């Protein structure tokens, strides 16, 4: 059995630990010599690169729907800091650096978040939907991925979207970030919006870009001692050239899979 962390044994220490982590996190960003994207522009760049959308409500979580409404509130609050953000040549995009101060005047609400493999409610919960969307969109650019963390546990089926499996991006302020670096000669721009019950993300550029396709390899399910695990390769290919394996995503499935799903038995 894994040894419990100090904050798991003494939960009252957690707020202090969070403040310490955030302080060290932002100090690290200030000292790492990277230039982080911070300038927003209302005028949109001319060239559309990629567009995606995702429904914000997911009624299959098993939690009160008010937490879904709170998530929508949090997403709209955070999107104000990202809409129109420019990522210039030589700059890096950091999810948390871009969102800093988004809740300074209007606080986030309690939403759903995954922590230690469990789904729970916390301040600002639901922002992972935004990081998921951004990661999926930015994979279709020539920005260099620097940091991405997959969710270890999937407690309910993913909402319908055009994203392939294994392209989620877990974020936790002070612990887990989402980062890309712009090593190209182009400037990219994020455009966030809301339409009906969907959140939309568009990536634009100041010059034409090559089309990139992101797709899955064969998905496998494996039964292990602690549950059923999903393994899915995530690949990318340009208009010309070979397929590129970006990574293989692995997460534990916490819901019942459809009938007939092939589940391999782990080798002893």
Q: Give the predicted TM-score (pTM) of the model.
A: 0.91
Q: Is residue 15 located within the same domain as residue 88?
A: no
Number of structural domains (the chain) is 2
What's the pLDDT score for residue 6? 58
Helical axes 66-82 vs 128-138, angle rounded to 10°: 50
- Domain of residue 93 covers 35-210
Residue (of 35, 52, 206) closest to 134 by Cα position: 52
* Residues 59-101: tens digit of each pLDDT: 666 677 888 899 999 999 999 999 999 999 999 999 999 999 9
- 192 found inside a domain: yes
Pairwise pLDDT comparison (73 vs 13), residue with the higher score: 73
Q: Is residue 29 located within the same domain as residue 40?
A: no
Of 188, 210, 232, which residue sits at a domain end? 210
Burial of 73 (0-12, 13-18, 19+ CB in 10 A): middle
- 111 found inside a domain: yes
- Residue 159 neighbours by CB distance under 10 Å: 16
Q: Is residue 150 located within the same domain as residue 178?
A: yes
Q: Is residue 126 located within the same domain as residue 64?
A: yes
- 79 found inside a domain: yes
Q: Is residue 22 located within the same domain as residue 129?
A: no
* Residues 170-224: tens digit of each pLDDT: 999 999 999 999 999 999 999 999 999 999 999 999 999 989 999 999 999 999 9
Q: Is residue 80 located within the same domain as residue 174?
A: yes
What's the pLDDT score for residue 142? 95
Q: Is residue 83 located within the same domain as residue 191?
A: yes
Which residues, at least 6 apart from 211, have a Cβ–Cβ distance to it below 8 Å?
238, 239
Q: Is residue 83 located within the same domain as residue 1?
A: no
Residue 163 to residues 51, 59, 176, 198, Cα–Cα distance (Å):
11, 19, 21, 14
* Residues 85-144: tens digit of each pLDDT: 999 999 999 999 999 999 999 999 998 887 665 678 889 999 999 999 999 999 999 999
Q: How confident is the model at residue 19 (pLDDT cuts 50, 70, 90)?
A: confident
* Residues 151-162: tens digit of each pLDDT: 998 887 777 789
Q: Is residue 178 located within the same domain as residue 59?
A: yes
Q: What is the mean pLDDT of residues 39-63?
A: 89
What's the pLDDT score for residue 1? 46
What's the pLDDT score for residue 117? 59
Q: Is residue 58 located within the same domain as residue 138?
A: yes
What's the pLDDT score for residue 192? 98
Q: Is residue 61 located within the same domain as residue 189?
A: yes
- 146 found inside a domain: yes
- 129 found inside a domain: yes
Q: Is residue 23 located within the same domain as residue 42?
A: no
């Amino acid at each position: 059995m894994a040894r419990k962390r100090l904050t798991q044994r003494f939960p009252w220490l957690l707020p202090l630990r969070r403040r310490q982590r955030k302080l060290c996190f932002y100090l690290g960003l200030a000292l790492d010599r990277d230039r982080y994207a911070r300038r927003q522009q209302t005028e949109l760049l001319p060239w559309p690169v990629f567009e995606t959308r995702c429904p914000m409500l997911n009624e299959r979580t098993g939690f009160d729907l008010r937490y879904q409404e709170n998530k929508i509130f949090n997403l709209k609050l955070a999107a104000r800091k990202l809409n129109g953000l420019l990522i210039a040549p030589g700059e890096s995009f950091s999810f948390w650096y871009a969102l800093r101060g988004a809740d300074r005047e209007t606080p986030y609400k309690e939403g759903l978040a995954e922590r230690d493999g469990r789904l729970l409610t916390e301040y600002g919960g639901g922002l992972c939907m935004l990081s998921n969307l951004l990661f999926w969109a930015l994979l279709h650019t020539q920005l260099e991925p620097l940091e991405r963390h997959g969710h270890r546990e999937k407690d309910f089926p993913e909402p319908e979207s055009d994203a392939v499996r294994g392209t989620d991006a877990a974020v936790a302020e002070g612990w887990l970030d989402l980062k890309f670096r712009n090593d190209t000669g182009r400037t990219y721009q994020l455009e966030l919006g809301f339409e009906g019950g969907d959140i939309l993300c568009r990536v634009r550029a100041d010059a034409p870009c090559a089309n990139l396709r992101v797709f899955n390899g064969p998905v496998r399910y494996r039964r292990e001692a602690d549950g059923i695990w999903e393994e899915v390769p995530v690949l990318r290919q340009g208009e010309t050239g070979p397929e590129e394996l970006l990574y293989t995503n692995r997460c534990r499935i916490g819901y019942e899979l459809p009938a007939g799903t092939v589940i391999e038995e782990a080798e002893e």
